[in-house]
């Protein structure tokens, strides 16, 4: 064991001397490994961070949550021209599902509407996302209120002029000193009474969050826009009870909507039942593809880096031929010479990899500063992976030079090196 520690120490010293004595040559040899490790770990960190951000944005929704609409989350066998003719889901269909679907925990009807300007006295906030929902949306998304309350069933059904504000909207309209609850704001040219303010969530990579949105009863929006306005996009969001078999629940849900639409047994569905778990799987597929592309592109850099390490090791063997001959003449075994150069190659490659990791670290810090609350994550696993890949590259690149060094004849080596 001590002999290997000694070899490792000597190899480390040789590697450091190579860096000191041949700075330019070593730098050019290591730059490939550095760029390769930087590329791979940067891609992995970016994908991990993006995945974490997306999962965080949907974490308030249970993956068993189902969204019914005329579009599909993923690929479908139905031709596009046919699916484009599907009708939007309606409020009456939502009521039918809510009333007759068994094992239903909660359901809400939502309509996506254009962003709007919100005013309070002489202050206004432009381009605000307006979420028009029924009262049960509060339970499906598990909203957290900082003050006040969400609108109730009576206010939802009657379309009362009440509004719940995101934290940032409340701050911009009322400031930190004034209580927002009970004040009236103007939205769609009408007065709305503020009844609640959500807790601060923070913005993400895509800029928007609950902090910059407001919530109003969907029946108020139906009165303003109507049920056949093409600028709105209705959806029915359904959450089954815990422990219910999802496949069976979806079958019952589909049957209820088919009955409401009067579809014959030989007719296909004119709607899509999308599971949030399917969306999560879709995100996993995308991030997996991004990882694969990153590995493919970075592999070329690592290949160049491997050739660079191999080149510097062959030169090192050439320069130290005399020393190898002396070591072997004094009794050094082939295995000792082999490990000496192999360790040196690994150490050089790891140094290049560590430089790449340091670059990723600083780039991630810099990127996080420019993306607000979105945080780039350089996980310990990715750091370990970068170091391990560097070592493997050094091992592969150094094996041939190390073997050639270990097989040198001591007499020929001494004579050649003189």
State how far the Cα of 248 lies from the Cα of 228, in Å rounded to an integer: 32
Query: Residue holding tokens 């902090």?
Result: 211
Q: What are the structure tokens assigned to 150, written together?
A: 């969400």
Of 233-242, 342-351, 376-385, the range with the lowest mean pLDDT is 376-385
pLDDT in tens, 6-50: 766 776 676 677 667 677 777 777 777 888 888 778 777 777 777
> Running DSSP on this structure, what letter comes out for residue 265?
T
Q: 49 with 375: CB under 8 angstroms?
A: yes
Instruction: Give the per-residue pLDDT at 203.
Output: 58
Query: Which residue, 109, 112, 114, 130, is CA-closest to 67?
Result: 109
Instruction: Give the per-residue pLDDT at 192.
Output: 95
Give the distance from CA 154 to its chain's centroid: 39
Residue 207 CB: number of other CB atoms within 10 A? Answer: 10
pLDDT exceeds cutoff 80 at 367: no
pLDDT exceeds cutoff 90 at 141: no
3-state secondary structure string across 187-198: ECCEEEEEEEEE
pLDDT in tens, 248-300: 999 999 999 999 999 998 888 999 998 876 666 666 777 777 777 777 777 77
Tell me the average pLDDT of the chain. Answer: 81
Query: Which residue, 226, 198, 61, is CA-closest to 129?
Result: 198
pLDDT exceeds cutoff 80 at 412: no
Instruction: Give the per-residue pLDDT at 159.
Output: 92
How many CA atoms lie within 13 Å of 173's alpha carbon, on the beta-carbon side?
30
pLDDT in tens, 145-166: 999 999 999 999 999 999 999 9
DSSP codes, 100-156: H-TTEEEEEEEEE---EEEEETTEEEEEE-EEEE-TTHHHHTT--EEEE----HHHH
Q: 395 with 345: CB under 8 angstroms?
A: yes
Q: Which residues contact 410 (CB under 8 A, 6 or more apart)?
A: 324, 325, 326, 328, 329
Q: Confidence band (pLDDT; 50, 70, 90) for 206?
A: very low
Residue 118 CB: number of other CB atoms within 10 A? Answer: 23
The mean pLDDT of 81-94, rounded to a whole number, is 89
pLDDT exceeds cutoff 80 at 341: no
Q: Which residues contact 330 (CB under 8 A, 6 or more apart)?
A: none
Q: What are the structure tokens assigned to 36, written together?
A: 């390769």
Q: 162 with 217: CB under 8 angstroms?
A: yes
Q: What are the structure tokens assigned to 68, written together?
A: 């019914």
Q: Which residues contact 58 (CB under 8 A, 6 or more apart)?
A: 276, 279, 280
φ/ψ of 266, rounded to 5, equals -85, 0
Q: What are the structure tokens assigned to 26, written together?
A: 């070593």
């Amino acid at each position: 064991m001590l002999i290997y520690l000694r070899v490792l120490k000597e190899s480390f010293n040789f590697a450091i001397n190579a860096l000191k004595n041949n700075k330019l040559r070593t730098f050019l040899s290591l730059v490939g490994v550095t760029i390769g490790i930087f590329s791979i770990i940067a891609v992995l960190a970016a994908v991990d961070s993006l995945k974490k951000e997306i999962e965080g944005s949907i974490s308030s929704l249970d993956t068993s949550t189902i969204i019914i609409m005329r579009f599909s989350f993923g690929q479908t066998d139905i031709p596009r021209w046919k699916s484009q003719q599907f009708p939007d889901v309606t409020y009456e269909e939502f009521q039918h599902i809510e009333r007759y679907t068994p094992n239903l925990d909660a359901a809400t009807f939502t309509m996506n509407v254009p962003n709007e300007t919100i005013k309070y006295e002489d202050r206004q906030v432009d381009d605000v996302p307006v979420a028009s929902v029924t009262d049960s949306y509060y339970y499906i998304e598990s909203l957290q209120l900082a003050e006040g309350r969400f609108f109730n069933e009576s206010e939802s059904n009657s379309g009362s002029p009440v509004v719940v504000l995101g934290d940032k909207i409340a701050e911009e309209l009322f400031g930190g000193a004034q209580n927002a609850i009970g004040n009236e704001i103007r939205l769609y040219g009408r007065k709305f009474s503020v009844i609640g303010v959500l807790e601060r969530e923070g913005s993400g990579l895509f800029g928007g969050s609950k902090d910059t949105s407001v919530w109003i009863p969907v029946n108020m929006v139906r009165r303003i826009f109507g049920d056949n306005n093409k600028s709105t996009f209705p959806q029915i969001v359904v959450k089954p009870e815990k422990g219910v078999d999802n496949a069976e629940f979806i079958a019952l849900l589909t049957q209820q909507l088919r009955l409401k639409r009067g579809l014959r047994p030989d007719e296909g569905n004119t709607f899509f039942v999308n599971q949030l778990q399917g969306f999560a799987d879709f995100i996993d597929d995308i991030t997996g593809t991004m990882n694969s592309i990153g590995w493919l592109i970075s592999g070329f850099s690592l290949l160049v880096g491997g050739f660079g390490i191999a080149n510097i090791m062959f030169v090192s063997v050439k320069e130290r031929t005399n020393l190898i001959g002396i070591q072997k003449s004094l009794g050094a075994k082939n295995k000792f010479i082999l490990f000496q150069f192999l360790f040196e190659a690994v150490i050089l490659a790891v140094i290049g990899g560590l430089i790449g990791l340091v670059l990723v670290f600083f780039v991630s810090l810099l990127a996080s500063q420019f993306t607000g609350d979105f945080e780039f994550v350089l996980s310990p696993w990715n750091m370990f992976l970068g170091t391990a890949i560097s070592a493997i590259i050094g091992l592969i690149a150094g094996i041939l030079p190390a073997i050639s060094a270990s097989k040198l004849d001591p007499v020929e080596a001494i004579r050649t090196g003189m």
